[in-house]
Structure 1
Amino acid sequence: MKKLSKYERETIVNFNEGESEASVYTFNADLKRRLAEFSRKYPLLCRLERTTPEGSVTYVLDKSRLSIRLVPPYSEERRAAARAYAKEHGFQPVQAIQDIA
C-alpha cells in the first residue's frame, strides 16, 4: 500500500437535485471525526458506507443536514476589536507561550 500525498488526500462532497442524500468522501481527520460523531448520534440521518486501507471514509447523509458555510474575511475594524479583546482578557499568542516554556 502506497502512502498518498497531501494532494491526493482529497475531500469530495457529492449530491444532486434529484436525490435526498449526499455523499462525503474524505481523508480529513477532523471531518472524519465529526461525521463519525454525527452518525453515532443520528444513525437514521447519516451512515458510514465505506472505509479504505489508505484512510479514507465515505459517509452518506441526509442532504438537508449538510451545510456549506462561506466566511468573508475580517474587516480591519473587526480585527482591531478582536486584538483589543484579546489584550484585555490576557490572551497570549501561541508563539509567546512556546517561548516561555
Structure 2
Amino acid sequence: MTNLTKYEMETVVNYNAGEQTATVYTRDKSVMRKLDRLVADCPDSYKLLNQTDIDKTYSMPKSYVTYRKPRVVSDEQRERARQRMAKINSNDN
C-alpha cells in the first residue's frame, strides 16, 4: 500500500435529496476499519462497493449520516465521573 500524506487520507460523504443512500469514499485506514466492521456486522445496511489498494467506497442509508451539537460537560459532571472511575479502578486492585 502506498504511504499517503494526512492531506491525501480524505473521506468524502456524498448524498442527494433524490436518493435514500449515501456513498462514502475514503482513503483513511481508521475509517475503513470502522466501516469494514459495520459491513460485517450489518450487511443489510452497509455495503462495500469498490476497493483498490489505497481506497474503498461504501454505501449506507443516508439517514445514518448525522449531525450533532458538541457535548457540554460541566465541572461538576466531570468530577462525578472522575470519582466513579476512581472507585471502579480501586475495586479492580
TM-score (norm 1): 0.69
What residue identity is the alignment partner of 1:89? I
How far apart are the structure 2 equivalents of 1:5 and 1:38? Answer: 26
SS in 1 for 2:89: coil
Other-structure match for 1:57: 56
Q: How much has 1:41 moved relative to structure 2?
A: 3.5
What residue identity is the alignment partner of 1:44? D
Uncovered stretches (5+) of structure 2, i.e. residues with no partner: none
TM-score (norm 2): 0.73
Asked if 1 retains the 8 angstrom alpha-carbon contact of 2:51 and 2:57, the reply is yes
Uncovered stretches (5+) of structure 1, i.e. residues with no partner: 92-101
How much identity, in percent, do the aligned residues show?
34
Q: How much has 1:83 moved relative to structure 2?
A: 1.4
Task: Count residues in correspondence.
Answer: 90
How far apart are the structure 2 equivalents of 1:72 and 1:41? Answer: 27
Structure 1 runs (4+) deviating above 6 angstroms are none
Other-structure match for 2:4: 4
